[in-house]
Structures are given as C-alpha cells and as structure tokens.
Amino acid sequence: MYQAIVFLPLLGFLIVGLFGNQLGARASELITSSFMVVAAILSWWAFLTVGIGDGQTFTVPVLKWITSGTLQANWELRIDTLTVVMLIVVNTVSCLVHIYSIGYMHDDPSRPRFFAYLSLFTFAMLMLVTSNNLVQMFFGWEGVGLASYLLIGFWYHKPSANAAAIKAFVVNRVGDFGFALGIFGVFMLFGSVNLDTVFANAASYVPAEIHGEASTGAESAAPATEQAAPAAETGQPAAETGQPAAENHDASAAAADDAVAMNFLGHPLGKSAALTVVCLLLFMGAMGKSAQVPLHTWLPDAMEGPTPVSALIHAATMVTAGVFMLARLSPLFEHSQTALLFVTFIGAITAFFAATVGLVQNDIKRVIAYSTCSQLGYMFVALGLGFYSAAIFHLFTHAFFKALLFLGSGSVIHAVSGEQDMRQMGGLRKLIPTTYWMMIIGTLALTGVGIPATVIGTAGFFSKDAIIEGAFAGHGSMAGFAFTLLVVAALFTSFYSWRLIFMTFHGRPRASHEVMHHVHESPPVMLVPLVILAVGALFAGFVFHDYFIGEHYEAFWKGALFTLPGNEIMEHAHHVPMLVKLSPFVAMLLGFLLAYQFYIRDPAAPARLAAQHRGLYRFLLNKWYFDELYDFLFVRAAKRLGYFLWKRGDGTVIDGLGPDGVSARVLDVTGRVVRLQTGYLYHYAFVMLIGVAALVTWLMLGSSF
C-alpha cells in the first residue's frame, strides 16, 4: 500500500511526461488525477491505521541505494504518525489541485506537461516526508526545488515567469547549501545519516538540559541506577576518588564537551558548539524552503506560476518541507538551545514582517502568499519552543484553508478574465456567490474565528491560538518576544484578510463594463474541490485537536515527535490565563473592525492614511526593500564580477592568449608570407639574383678562410 501511495504520482508523471502528446490533454488529466485520487484515499487509510489506530513505527524497504565505506543509505519508507499526517496533507491537497486544474487550465495548450509536473512535484514531496535517512531526504528536498522551478516558470514565454523561477531556484540553492553542509556535519558527528542511528547517538552525545529545566527524554526515562553507575562497577568507591561523585560527573562531562568534535571555517568546535553549528546549518535549509527571513524573497514572486501551482506550493509541498524537517529532526535540535532560540527568533520576525507587508499588497495572490509566509513563522516559533505537535497541527489545518484561499482566488481570477489586482475588482459577491462563501470560510479559518475556552471554532482557531498560548507558556528567553509579535501578527492577518474580501467582493464594481459583463461562476470541477477544502477548514481543528495536542497526544504520536518530560509546554499552554486565551480573539476582532471601517464604511480612508504616512506606506509596499537591498549587495556585484570575468578574464586573457591569440598570430604570419607571392616575373628574377649573389659571397668568403 505504501509503495502505491508514493509511486503512483511518479507513474503518472512518467506516463504523461513521456507520452502525453500522444495520449492527448484529456487522457493526461484523467490518468494523473486518477492516480492521485487513489493515493489520497490510501493515505487516509494509512492515517487511520497508524495515527488513529494502533500501528507502530516501521519501515518499508525499497532498494539498496548507497554503500560507500561507513556511509550507508538504503532507499526505504519510514512510516510513523508524522509521516502519515504529511501523506494526507500532500496527497489530499495535490489530488484536489489536480482535479481543480482540469477546469482552470482548460484552455492551456500545454496541459499534459502541466499535469506531469504536478505529479512530479507530489512524488518529490512524498520522497521527502517518507525518508528514513538524510540522503534520501535531500533527494526529495532537491526534487521539490526542481519541480517548483518547472511549475513557477511554466508559462516560460513570460519574462516575469522566467525571472521568478530563476529567483526561486537561486534563493533555495543558498539554503540548500547550508542543508547539505548540515548533513555532512551530522555524518561527521554521528557516523551515520540514518535517522534512528542519529537519534540514538544524539541522546548521549552531549550532557544537555531541555529548555533550561529538565534532561532529555531519553535521560529522564533511564533508571537512576543507570544514570549513576554503581561504585562496584567502577572498581573504586566514589569516596576514594577524593571528590564527590557529582563533581566527578560534571568534570568528565565538561572534559568530553571540550574535546574537538570538528573544525568549521578554521575554528575547532567542541561537542555542544559543533552540534549547534550543525543544527543552524540544517535550519538554513529550512529557511530557504519555508521562506523565512531573510530567504523569503522568492515566495511572493512564485505567484507568476498558474494559481493551482501556488496552492500546491503554499499548502502542501515546498514551504512545508522546512517545518517537517525540523519536526522530524526534533531529537537532534533539542540538544542545542542556541539553535532553538534562533529558530524562535526567525519565526517571530517572519510572522510579523510578512503580516506587515500583506497590509498594503494589491495583487490578490500576493496577499495570500504573504499570509503563508507569516503562518509559517507561527510554525517555526512553535518548533523553536519545543511545541512540535502544535507546529504540525497548524501545518495540517493550514493546508486546508490556505489551499482553499488560493484555489478560491483562482476562481475569482478565472471569473474576471485573468485580472489579479484587487483595485480592479469589487461587487463580485452576487455574481460568483459560491466562490464568495468559500473565500469567506477560508478567511474565517485563517483569522482563527472561534469562541475562546470552548470547542467552537474554525481550524485556525484551534491550531494558531495553541501556538500563541504555547509562546506565552514557553520558558525560553525568546518566548515573550515571540508571543508579542504573534499577537500583533494576528491583528494584521485579520485586517489584510478581510481587506481582501471587502475589496474583491463588496463595494461598487471597479472593473470595466466588458469584464463585469463576462463574470461567471466557475464550473463544478473547480467548485467541488473548494467545498471539500472548506469542510476541512471548518472542522479539521475541532475533530483532530485532541489527537494532535490534546488528551490523545501520546496514543496518537507514539514517539514520532520529541516530547518534553510530562508534555511540559503542552500542559502549560492549556492552563494559561484567560486574558492570554482572549488575546488572539481580540486581535482578530480588531482587525476585522478596522478593515470594515476602512473598506466598507469609509473607502477613502486608506488613501488618506497612505498620503499622511507616505514613507511608511512605501516601505511596506516595497516589502521592507529586501529585494532592493539584495540587488545592491549581491545581484549588481555578481553582474559586475561576471562582466569583468567575461570581458577581461575570458575575452582578454583566455581567448586573447589562447585560441584567439594563436589564430591571430598565424593569420599575421601567413599574411606576410602571402606578400612574397606577387606573381610578377621580375620579382622572382630579382629574388633569384639576390640568392645567387649571396651564394657567391658565401663561397668566396668560405674559400678565403
């Protein structure tokens, strides 16, 4: 069954990719979509069996892959609760995106290529989430990077699409370089890339404290007689050492940590420092894939691809890879508090930054894209605080409402003849009512509408609020900082989400009469996926809350995620003050009221406010000038260096002294030699006479000596 879940998308890609033109567009759509329906159904069965049921962690061997010295990496599928959660996220969203694309891409002449790329994208992500070693994970990691490049640049005849695809590819290579170094570092420290071996070795690698309070789960679970070796086994009583046993242990631990574990950039590192560097390098990869500041700049430009691609990237594949990777490697990250603090800091900054930029964007897809960037920040805050289950829970619920919002925006774009600027919309509520209500449901879930301290709420209410409460309950030095920024980001999220609804569907129509005349509701093949996603956006939080972060936590996760002793942070998050539970609700309500005031009651107010604070408005509209800064620091410098190497290095030095120089000298010599062959008889006679004179002179001089 698990081989079918993973390899059916690959089979669809191979069939349609190789024979799509012969099969035709309709057959290509049906083949790839049918395979994805089967994979999605099997994924839900696996979830019910392994997650909800009594299934335990196991592996499914595929083939022997790499054996080189001590490096061994077999191709096998790791099946546990974390895996099956990702399987239903990836395959459910991908299945619905495939079906939706049948209607959305109906007029595109390259549909076979598009559906082949979608299936390839899905297969690469499945390889990533089922990996049982870091090399296999890197294979899937790079696979989603390749597929995203192909899909973002699908309309390659558009220069903007080509530029966006290249930007996504290059920015992700920066992060992937760090990820690759991190994998090398893991192999250096633990002698293996297999996850079970790495986790087992990490538990005893350094004497670490978890979040400044408790030892690792593995250490806390060990009997006391194992943690303090009996004196009889050492052959010498502790009293005879002249030092208390605890001091001996501390001294030996300090000495072990001071031992050089590896050299990095010319600096020798002890065990703790080495592990921190490795974790930061691994997180660098996550920053690129999951669009965290400062490697976030590719994500908004990825909107140049078709809208179904945006839904797949933002809800289920590319950007969720970094969150999954940190959750999977949680037993490793728990031994580096510095790395976890950095993860928390970056997540909080990203959540706030992206929310501020979303306030003023006018492209409907870019608003939702910055929303994704912000929500990923929430997930990384949870990861940095050690609240791994909340991060995956938000990833799970986010997949439903974010796919719903993107596909809903695609339905809007489809209705208004390809227009994406919200300033050219308005008045669409009664013309496309089904799309309108689907977008309303997605917005309710994104903004976390619900009644605090009850079980009444949308999916985002359960997962997003849990992260905010966990940030308040966290003990790290970044917890308070993260809590403040997340609450502010919740306010901004509510404002720009309802701003999108009001500008798009309410008020007077701002599009031309011709566009408004042709506005129409999308066909059922596009609306049915929206309805299915809307059900998840409304009820996924309520149905699965107790499994992910509630009373069924232990039975559900079965050790797939690292857990603090006694589920400490989760318990504290459930018992925060009522004011903390109310804070995201109040922020959501304020954001809605502000958006209603600005875009329904007083539509001229935003323009007046922007004119009064022109500098701030331009700052946010230009996305904090990250692109301009990178262009100044890196792009222009790289172009100047490239131009210099092209003109001076390649042209002047290599070609000038090499092929071009040699050929020029040959031409110069032959040009002069050719001049000797004039064709005039008296020239030849004169040369002969000179030769005879020279010969006679030589003979005369020779005979005289």
As given in the structure block, the two tokens for residue 142 are 């790079």
Instruction: List, for residues 185-210, the tens digit of each pLDDT value.
Output: 999 999 999 999 999 988 887 654 44
Are 560 and 82 a contacting pair, CB within 8 Å? yes
Extended beta strands in 9-156, E state: 58-68, 71-79
Rounded Cα distance between 379 and 470, Å, is 11
Using DSSP's 3-state secondary structure scheme, residue 523 falls into: coil
Instruction: List, for residues 3-53, the tens digit of each pLDDT value.
Output: 999 999 999 999 999 999 999 999 999 999 999 999 999 999 999 999 898
How far, CA to CA in Å, does 512 sit from each of 422, 424, 509, 518, 519? 13, 8, 8, 10, 11
User: Looking at the DSSP assignment, which residues form a beta bridge with residue 66?
Assistant: 73
From 198-202, 324-328, 435-439, 531-535, the region with the lowest mean pLDDT: 198-202
pLDDT of residue 149: 95
Tokens 């003050």 appear where?
A: 577
Rounded mean pLDDT of the chain? 88
Q: What is the rounded (10 degree) CA torsion for 649, 653, 659, 660?
A: 100
User: Looking at the DSSP assignment, which residues form a beta bridge with residue 68?
Assistant: 71
> φ, ψ for residue 566 (rounded to 5)?
75, 15
Other C-beta atoms closer than 10 Å to the C-beta of 532 total: 17
Sequence-ordered list of residues with C-beta below 8 angstroms from that of 54, at least 6 positions apart, any chain: none
> φ, ψ for residue 402 (rounded to 5)?
-75, -40
As given in the structure block, the two tokens for residue 175 are 């992060």
pTM: 0.87
Give residue 664's pLDDT band: very low, low, confident or very high (50, 70, 90): confident
Are 38 and 534 a contacting pair, CB within 8 Å? no
Instruction: List, for residues 86-96, the tens digit of each pLDDT value.
Output: 999 999 999 99
Sequence-ordered list of residues with C-beta below 8 angstroms from that of 587, at least 6 positions apart, any chain: 487, 488, 490, 491, 494
Rounded Cα distance between 283 and 345, Å, is 12
Other C-beta atoms closer than 10 Å to the C-beta of 274 total: 24
Rounded Cα distance between 205 and 196, Å, is 14
In the chain, the percentage of residues whose pLDDT exceeds 70 is 91
Tokens 């057959």 appear where?
A: 27
Bond from prior residue into 244 cis (ω within 30 degrees of 0): no
Rounded Cα distance between 147 and 123, Å, is 10
Give residue 257's pLDDT band: very low, low, confident or very high (50, 70, 90): low
Rounded Cα distance between 457 and 558, Å, is 27
Sequence-ordered list of residues with C-beta below 8 angstroms from that of 356, at least 6 positions apart, any chain: 492, 620, 624
pLDDT of residue 216: 37
As given in the structure block, the two tokens for residue 70 are 């001590």
**Within a 13 Å sphere around the CA of 664, how many CA atoms are in the beta-carbon half?**
7
Rounded Cα distance between 428 and 685, Å, is 99
CA angle at 83 for the pair 79 and 87, rounded to the nearest 5° = 115
Residue type, 54: D
Question: Is the confidence at residue 276, as pLDDT, over 60?
Answer: yes
Sequence-ordered list of residues with C-beta below 8 angstroms from that of 639, at least 6 positions apart, any chain: none
Sequence-ordered list of residues with C-beta below 8 angstroms from that of 138, at least 6 positions apart, any chain: 179, 180, 183
Gyration radius (Cα) of the chain, Å? 32
In order, the DSSP letters of 116-131 are HHHHHHHHHHHHHHTB
Residue 189 is classified by DSSP as H
Which of 354, 182, 156, 143 has the alpha carbon at shortest distance from 285? 182
The b/e string for 247-267 (b: 16+ C-beta within 10 A; e otherwise) is eebeeeeeeebeeebbebeee
Question: Is the confidence at residue 176, as pLDDT, over 80?
Answer: yes
Residue type, 109: P
Residue type, 77: L
From 137-141, 234-238, 453-457, the region with the lowest mean pLDDT: 234-238
pLDDT of residue 310: 92
Rounded Cα distance between 123 and 88, Å, is 13
Which of 292, 285, 449, 301 has the alpha carbon at shortest distance from 365? 301
Other C-beta atoms closer than 10 Å to the C-beta of 299 total: 26
Decide: residue 281, CB within 10 A, 0-12 exposed, 13-18 middle, 19+ buried: buried
Tokens 């690792």 appear where?
A: 216
Other C-beta atoms closer than 10 Å to the C-beta of 571 total: 11
What's the chain's length in residues?
705
Helix ranges (H only) for 235-336 are 245-258, 271-289, 298-301, 307-315, 320-328, 330-333
pLDDT of residue 653: 81
Are 380 and 345 a contacting pair, CB within 8 Å? no
Decide: residue 71, CB within 10 A, 0-12 exposed, 13-18 middle, 19+ buried: middle
Question: Is the confidence at residue 107, as pLDDT, over 50?
Answer: yes
Sequence-ordered list of residues with C-beta below 8 angstroms from that of 56, at least 6 positions apart, any chain: 50, 80, 558
Using DSSP's 3-state secondary structure scheme, residue 421 falls into: strand
> Average pLDDT, stretch 675-688?
79
Other C-beta atoms closer than 10 Å to the C-beta of 213 total: 10
Question: Is the confidence at residue 271, as pLDDT, over 90?
Answer: no
pLDDT of residue 466: 94
Instruction: List, for residues 50-100, the tens digit of each pLDDT value.
Output: 989 887 889 999 999 988 888 989 999 999 999 999 999 999 999 999 999
pLDDT of residue 358: 95
> Average pLDDT, stretch 549-553?
89
In order, the DSSP letters of 352-404 are HHHHHHHTT--BHHHHHHHHHHHHHHHHHHHHHTT-HHHHHHHHHHHHHHHHH
How far, CA to CA in Å, does 504 sit from each of 139, 247, 318, 400? 41, 68, 28, 21
